[in-house]
Amino acid sequence: MKTPPQPLSASPLQIEKHEFLDIEVHASDSKDAHPSLQLEINRRFCQLDTTPRRWQVELTVSFGGESDGKPSVYSGLLRVTGHFSVHEKYPKQKIQDLIEVSGSSILYGACREMLANLTARASHGVVSLPSVSFLETKGKSAKK
């Protein structure tokens, strides 16, 4: 017997807005270009108010590189910023971790969507950013 699905509850982290500050995508001229992307991910965090409940996250995803001496099909970077608010009942001592992990994940998903949309009509076809985890990178910039 199947159990009925549980109702979803709102996350304690809500995104207020996000916007892309820089978008660069370059298609390789090489016919031997490799589909894998090497990533470098950098993040910055700051509080927006004097309260610890509103934060800004800036995420920069640089991609490209070489694999086996062949260039990636695409190279470039995406830089996005997001404004987030944390529910008033969420414990203050856990806010930084929530912002670093979940805020970064939300913005990375926006970067994945943007890159897929931009490359869908490009010379080498659609490419998607690989999944990454920000859980292990709390307190530092992530490099993958």
Nearest-CA neighbor of 26 among 66, 72, 59, 68? Answer: 72
Mean pLDDT of 1-14: 87
Give the pLDDT score at 36.
86
Confidence of residue 137 (pLDDT cuts 50, 70, 90): low
d(CA 62, CA 39): 6
Distance, in Å, from the CA atom of 110 to the CA atom of 112, rounded to the nearest integer, reads: 5
Percent pLDDT > 70 in the chain is 94
CB atoms within 10 A of CB 63: 23
CATH code: domain 13-137 is: 3.10.420.10
What percentage of the chain has pLDDT greater than the value 90? 76
pLDDT of 89-102, one tens digit each? 999 999 999 999 99
Q: Is the pLDDT of residue 143 over 70?
A: no
The edge-to-edge listing of strands for the beta sheet with 38-47 is: 13-27, 74-86, 54-64, 38-47
More confident: 36 or 90 = 90
Neighbours of 114 (CB within 10 A): 17
Give the pLDDT mean for 30-49.
Answer: 92
